[in-house]
Amino acid sequence: MKDKKEPKDLLSAILAYAQKNAPVEEVRKELNIGLDKLRSLVEKLEKKGYVIQIETSAGKEFISLKKEADSGQTIYMKTKPGQEEIKILLISSAHAGLKSQQLHLLSTAYAMAKKEKVHFAIFCGNLCAGKPTKKNSRDFFLKGTEVFHDEENKREKREDVSFEKQLEYLKKAYPKTSIKTYFLSGWREMTFKEQDGQDFLKMFCEGSKRFFYSGDYVANFIVNKAVIEVMQAKNSEPYTKSYEIQGLEDKNKQRVTFVFPEHTHALDPDIICLGGRHVPLQIPNHLPRTKDSRQAEMIEIPSLAAEGSSEKVKNIMASARTLGFGILTLKFFDDGSLKSTVDEWWSLSAYQKTNGYLSSCDIDELKGELFEAEEELKQLKLDKKDLQAAIVKIEKLKEEIAILSEFISRPRKLGHLARILGFSRGNLENEEEAKKKVWAVIGRLGEKGFTIAEEPNEGTFYWQREFQTEFHPLDLRIEEKRKILQTSDWHFGNKKTQKERVAQMYKIAEDEKCDMMTVAGDIHEGMDAHPGHGQELEPGAGGADAQRELALKYIPLSDIPTAFIQGSAGHEYKAYQLRVGHDIVKALVEDLKRRAEKAGKKGDDLYLYDEKEKIVADYLCGKFKIMLRHPSGGAPKAKSYRAQEIIRAIFNEIWNGLPDDVHAISIGHLHLAMFMMYKGIAVYLVPCIVDMNDYLTSKSLVPDLGCWISEFGLDGKGNVVYVKNQYIAFEPAKRESIAVKVKVKE
C-alpha cells in the first residue's frame, strides 16, 4: 500500500491530473484516496481560484482543469555584480500547426540571440495554432479527430486530437537552444484551455530546464528594479497598429496614491510589450529616465507566421504583417533602476516560405535523372530501338517534373494537370485520354516514392509530403549598414525652442559616428501660422532674416552631412515661400555652405537641400535611401495612423511609376516620437526641440522632445533587414504653476 502524501503534495498532484484530463478512478488509485476525499481537495483548489470539474465521458468520470487560478505571474531576476546591461530576445506568434508557419525564422531568432549573447527570451503568446474551427480549418496541417465507441450511449463519438498533434510536433520541431525562454499563453493556446481545459504551454514546458510557463495573456518581469509588462493581444487585428498599446499606456496613468504598496508596481511599468499585433513598433519614453521616476516605453513585437488564407479573408481591413523578432537591451543605473534601452529589430518578411511546413522537395532528384538521360542521349550512339526508348524515358521524366512542380505551391485539379501535359480545355474527345495520362504520371511518381493523394471533398490532388521537423536558421548577410541621427522641428524664432539642443545633437552624431543627420522640416518658426502667433516669437526674431541668422548662430560647424526640407505648415513654406516667394531653407543652406568653405570644408557635401521638392525629398546615403516628409494637419490620436497612411500613399505613387526603393521615412511636423517597420519600410515620427507653448496647450497636445539614432542594415536584395534604435529624450523646461490660495474657515 502506498504511503499517503502530504496535503500540499496531494493538491499539486490533483492539479497535475486535472491538467491531463485524467480518469477519476486512476487518480484515486494512484493517490490512495476515496471519492469524498477527492471532492474535498477539489473544493480547496477551487477556493484558491482554480475551476476544476469532474465530468462523465464514454461511461467514465474524468477530472479536468477549466481555468487557472491566476492569469499571470511575476518573474524576478537580478543582474550579476558588475553587469551593466541585459539582453532579451522578444518573439511572438509562431502559429505552429498552421500551413503559414515560418519556423525557420524562429530558428534564425535563436541563432541571432546566441550570437548577441542574449540572457533570456520571452515568447509573447501564440506559439501553437490552437483549436481549429469550421472557418479556419483549411489553414491547419496539424488537426484531426479520432473515433471511439461511447459505451454509455452505444454510439461512436469523435474527439478532436489537434492538441496532441500540435504538442507532439512542437516537442520535435522547436529549436534546440540553451537560452531560457518564458512562454505566455495567447488566444490560440487559450482555445484549448477555455474549451477543453487543456493547458498547452504547461504541457509543453513540463520537464524542461530551459522552457518556463509564465501565465495567460499577461506576465510581469522585474529585472533589478525595471518592470516589464508583457501581454498578448486578443483575436482581433485593427488597421491602426498603435491604437491598443496606446490604450494600455493610458490605463496605467492615474492620479492615485495606492494604499497597499504591493499593488504599486503592477500599474507602473518601465516597458510594455505587446505580442499579436505583427509589427515591430516602438513608442519611446516621453521624458529622460532617472533613478526616481518611471517612463513607460511601449513595444509591439513582429510575427513569426505569415497570414493564412482564412485570415486574409477575415482581416481584409487589417494592415500588413512584418515577420521577424526583436532584441531589447536594458541598461541600468548603479541602484538597479532602468537607465536606457536599445531596441534591435530583424525584419524578415522577405524570407518567408510557401509550404515551409513540408519537408524539402526531392524534385531535384528527378531533374538530375533527366540531365543524365539527356547527356547519355547526346554521347551514345544508339540503334533505332534504343534511341526511341531513351526519348520516351526523357519525355516521361519531363512529364513527371512538370506535374510535381505544380504541387509545390498548392493542390491542383485534374483538369489543370491535364493542361500542363498539353491537353486543351473543353475538348471532350480528349477528356478520357487526358485523365488516363494524368493518372499514369501520378502512378509513375508513386513508384518513385512521390505520393500524390486525392482530396475528394475539394476535388483536388496534392503532394503528400512529410511534415518538416528540423528548421535551419537563415544565413543572413548584411551588405551595407548606415547610421543616421533623425531630428525635426527646431523652430528657430520661437521663444520656447531649446536652441542649445542643436549643438548637443551634432555632438551625439559625432560621438556615435553617424553617417548623416536629417532635419524633417520647420527649422524656422515662420510668422502668422495661427492667431496670436506673434506672442510666441523671441524678441527681434519676427522675420525671415532674423530667424535665419538665429539658426546660423546655433547650428555648429560639423563634419556630419545634414539633409534639410522645408516645413509645409505656416512656419516656413506658407509663411515665406507662398507669400513672398522666399525659400528660407535654401538661403540657410547657402549660408552654411559659405561658412564651411571659409573653414576649408566642402559645403556641398555637408549641407543638402532639394530646392525642387522642398517639403518631401529623398536622400541617398550609399545605397540607403531615406525620405524626409513634413505633412500638415493635426496629430491623430493613434500615432501610427498618419505613418501608415503616408506609406499607403507612397505605394500608390509607386504603382504610378515613381521610385520604389525608399528604405526609411522620417516624418516631422507632429512633434511626436514613434518607430514602426511597415511594408518593408522603416518609418519614424521624429520629435522636436520645442517646449509646451500656449498654442499646444490650447489643443491639449504634449510634444516629444528628443532625437532618434538609428542604424539600418540592407541585405543583398536591398531589403531593410536590420534596424537598431536608440531614442534620446530631452528634458522639457519646468513650467511654473502657482495655485491661488482660497481662505477657508477653520
Percent of the chain having pLDDT more than 90? 38
Q: What pLDDT, on a 0 to 100 scale, did the predictor assign at position 109?
A: 97
Range of the domain at 578: 481-729
pLDDT surpasses 50 at 314: yes
- The whole-angstrom separation of Cα 367 and Cα 397 is 8
CB atoms within 10 A of CB 656: 7
- The whole-angstrom separation of Cα 477 and Cα 567 is 38
pLDDT surpasses 90 at 111: yes
Q: pTM higher than 0.85, yes or no?
A: no
Q: Are 570 and 508 in contact (CB under 8 A)?
A: no
Nearest to residue 107, comparing CAs of 173, 16, 188, 185? 173
The domain that holds 170 is classified in CATH as 3.60.21.10
Q: What pLDDT, on a 0 to 100 scale, did the predictor assign at position 262?
A: 47
pLDDT surpasses 90 at 728: yes
Q: Residue 308: which pLDDT band, with cuts at 50, 70 and 90?
A: confident
CB-neighbour burial class of residue 250 (10 A; exposed 0-12, middle 13-18, buried 19+): exposed
Mean pLDDT for the stretch of residues 360-389 = 73
- The whole-angstrom separation of Cα 407 and Cα 413 is 10
Residues 452 and 573 in one domain: no
The phi, psi pair for 8, rounded to 5°, reads -65, -40
pLDDT digits (tens, 9 = 90+) for 31-57: 889 888 888 888 777 655 567 888 887
pLDDT surpasses 60 at 659: no
Percent of the chain having pLDDT more than 70? 86
pLDDT surpasses 50 at 135: yes
CB atoms within 10 A of CB 222: 18
Among 47, 67, 87, the domain boundary falls at 67
Asked whether residue 744 is domain-assigned, the answer is no
Q: Which pairing describes strands 681-685 and 720-729: parallel, antiparallel, or unpaired? A: unpaired
Q: What is the largest CA-CA distance in the chain?
A: 124
Q: Which residue has the higher pLDDT, 573 or 678?
A: 678
Helix axes 544-554, 584-598, angle to 10 degrees: 40
Asked whether residue 1 is domain-assigned, the answer is no
Residues 624 and 498 in one domain: yes
Asked whether residue 739 is domain-assigned, the answer is no
Asked whether residue 242 is domain-assigned, the answer is yes
Asked whether residue 432 is domain-assigned, the answer is yes
Mean pLDDT for the stretch of residues 66-71 = 56
Instruction: Give the three-state DSSP class for 231.
Output: strand
Q: What pLDDT, on a 0 to 100 scale, did the predictor assign at position 583?
A: 86
Instruction: Give the three-state DSSP class for 600.
Output: coil
Q: What pLDDT, on a 0 to 100 scale, did the predictor assign at position 3?
A: 44
Q: Which residue has the higher pLDDT, 228 or 635?
A: 228
Q: What pLDDT, on a 0 to 100 scale, did the predictor assign at position 1?
A: 38
**What's the whole-number average pLDDT of the chain?**
84
Nearest to residue 669, comparing CAs of 625, 708, 635, 701? 635
Among 321, 351, 381, the domain boundary falls at 351
Inter-CA distances, 84 with 23, 336, 340, 351, Å: 52, 9, 11, 34
Residue 662 is placed in which grid cell? 525608399
Q: Which helix (H) or strand (E) holds 150?
A: strand 145-150
pLDDT surpasses 80 at 270: yes
Nearest to residue 309, comparing CAs of 160, 417, 411, 185? 411
Asked whether residue 735 is domain-assigned, the answer is no
Of 103-117, 421-435, 450-464, 515-529, minimum mean pLDDT range: 421-435
pLDDT surpasses 80 at 594: yes
Q: What pLDDT, on a 0 to 100 scale, did the predictor assign at position 404?
A: 81
Asked whether residue 391 is domain-assigned, the answer is yes
The domain that holds 12 is classified in CATH as 1.10.10.10
Among 434, 463, 492, the domain boundary falls at 463
Mean pLDDT for the stretch of residues 543-561 = 92
Count the domains in the chain: 4
pLDDT surpasses 60 at 24: yes
Residues 313 and 368 in one domain: no
CB-neighbour burial class of residue 671 (10 A; exposed 0-12, middle 13-18, buried 19+): buried
Nearest to residue 163, comparing CAs of 20, 52, 14? 20
Residues 619 and 676 in one domain: yes
Residues 449 and 546 in one domain: no
Nearest to residue 142, comparing CAs of 313, 312, 357, 307? 357
